[in-house]
Amino acid sequence: ATPFLLPHQVDFSRFNPKVMLFDGHEPAISLQAALDARRKNIPIVLDAGSVHKGTRELAPLADYLVASEKFAREFTGKTDLGEALRSLAQKAAVAVITLGEAGLVWASPQAEGRLDVERQRRRAEARRWFFPRQAGPPRSSSLPEARLGTYRDRRYRSVCQ
């Protein structure tokens, strides 16, 4: 096994990140970097797949806690997913629990929601069918193509809802 990096082995002073992403697999260096990020008001994202030393130490520092379903249940001790989500949301500004092909659930102090992967897949397929040469609905214009695009846009929205 490769030994963990120690804080003195990496010099972060040259970097000025806008956000820091951690997974907890380098606990000694991650904790030090997260504490430094916290002092500099740099948002911290924790990608927590499983409960281990690194994720336990970093979870209280995370602004955005993105957790697997397994992590959420084990870390919070809650078997109910909604309770686990609310518990994680008390620890971070935004908590997300990924559910594999079922999508994800998320919560913040202001709101909570669900992202359904199957619905997003259908929307993406409809977007490709209605707008084959564009990434999204056409821009507003007086050209006949834009008026057709407006019709397509309305039809696209009705299909996706």
157 confidence band (pLDDT: 50, 70, 90) = low
Q: Where are the beta strands (DSSP E) in 1-160?
A: 20-22, 44-48, 64-68, 94-98, 104-107, 112-115
In this prediction the pTM is: 0.71
Hunting for tokens 């669900």 — which residue is that? 114
Taking only the tens place, the pLDDT of each residue in 41-56 is 999 999 999 999 999 9
